[in-house]
Chain A
């Protein structure tokens, strides 16, 4: 079980996402998960071993490290990525339930004319409408909440996103105010800023996706209202379309005109 398995879980959801959702997933896995695994983990690998304090007092280094880094950056990012990916599983479960219901109806014979066989039900792309729209929108909303929450926790725990070279520590059993030096502070700052920026981009993509879904629903309801208000107009239009199709099928290569 590792990030690859999570990628497989979420890859299934990708088929039913909007285009912005697909971009979000790509940014998540390439610019955050992959960077975390191949680069960031190496940078933070020796974090406690190379955290050096200017004292020989046993226990002082442990206590100072624990005070300044209650939770390591790497672990917080891992938890953030897991929590941010989890709402997509709600969508996956809803799609699976939707398919299960269709399969049940197909077996009973209620929707036999819509599908050839069960395989077609499995491969059909589910549209984001009705209750699935609500599930999908809630999942995006939760993603935004989790991203914002973790960014705030980071800011709160580490007093900003910058790591200093030296920290001063006077906690028991340290005998006095002791200087402690973090290993690779500049590299860690660079990666912290990078991961935070990727977080911000993902959040903006989620906000854009949410706006897109809301606009889509508004347009759809407006179109439905227009159709209800002017049914004759649309009926005439659809009949015209049918006639045009018949003409184009029947007279290929001949000059056609519109019927009067």
Chain B
């Protein structure tokens, strides 16, 4: 299990995303994941070994390192990348649920009845809400991790020298020197910048989704008299009613679509 597995899982989300969502995914894969794997991980590779304290007191270096780096930047970014990409899996789960429901409906009622969903991947109804919720979660997670990063490391800077005071077993105020602070600072800024770009894309996507929905509902109200697509629940109940009529002998088995249309005047033809 590694980053490639996560990438394979997320590539499936691309089909159901908006244009903003696809750009977001590209930014995450290229500017965050790829940079993390090929460059950033190595910068933090020797961080504890080369954390040098001006003392010969055994244990002081370990304790000081732990005091200043309760969790390494690199591990925090790995967690951030996993948490930020997971809400997209909600969308995949919802689409899979719809497809399963469609399959079971066909099995039960046969091919005569109308499909439950014209397109299981189209962001209408429940899937729209799932997609919006996943975007809101992504946004919340990004902000949370940026806040944690800012709080734990006194802003996003990485000083050359840190002073370790009143920490047993260090005997006095000890000077400790971080390895490669400038390079670490540069990569921290880069990853924070990429995070900010992803936040902007997510906000744009949320606005776009809401705007698109408003426009769609206004145009639907304008053409309110014409047929509108029915919900899956009403199509399922139409099918069940049709089958009951067939069982009760009121309808012949070959009556098919005509009778179906009679019982459900606004049925969308397949």
Contact = CB atoms under 8 A, between A and B. Distances in A.
A and B interact physically:
yes
Contact of B30 (A66, A82, A93): A82
B207 interface: no
Contact of A3 (B3, B7, B38, B50): B38
A251 to B, nearest CB: 54
Interface size class of B (residues with CB under 8 A): 35 or more
Interface in B1-50: 3-4, 7, 19, 22-23, 26, 29-31, 33-35, 37-39, 42-43, 46, 50
A5 B7 contact: yes
Contacts, number: 97
A48 B183 CA distance: 12
A79 B35 contact: yes
Contacts of B54: 57-59, 173
A70 B52 contact: no
B161 interface: yes
A48 B46 contact: yes
Report which residue of B3, B38, B39, B176 has the largest number of chain A beta carbons within 10 angstroms of its beta carbon. Answer: B38
A110 interface: no
A29 to B, nearest CB: 14
B270 to A, nearest CB: 16
Contact of A71 (B161, B175, B177, B182): B182
Nearest to B186: A71
Given A58-B52, A58-B177, A71 B38 contact: no
Given A62-B160, A78-B39, A89-B26, A6 B34 contact: yes
Binding site of A, secondary structure by majority: helix, strand, loop or mixed?
helix
A82 B179 contact: no
B232 to A, nearest CB: 22
A49 B49 CA distance: 9
B210 to A, nearest CB: 23
A93 B14 CA distance: 12
Contact of B178 (A62, A72, A78, A93): A62
A65 interface: yes
Nearest to A33: B38
Q: 4 closest pairs, A vs B, by CB? A: A59-B177, A70-B182, A62-B177, A58-B54
30 contacts: A1-B29, A2-B34, A5-B7, A5-B29, A6-B30, A9-B30, A48-B46, A48-B50, A48-B179, A48-B180, A58-B175, A58-B177, A59-B52, A59-B53, A59-B54, A59-B176, A62-B50, A62-B52, A65-B180, A66-B160, A66-B180, A66-B182, A69-B180, A70-B182, A75-B42, A75-B187, A82-B38, A86-B30, A93-B23, A173-B175
Interface of A: 1-3, 5-6, 9, 48-49, 57-59, 61-63, 65-66, 69-72, 74-75, 78-79, 82, 86, 89, 93, 97, 173
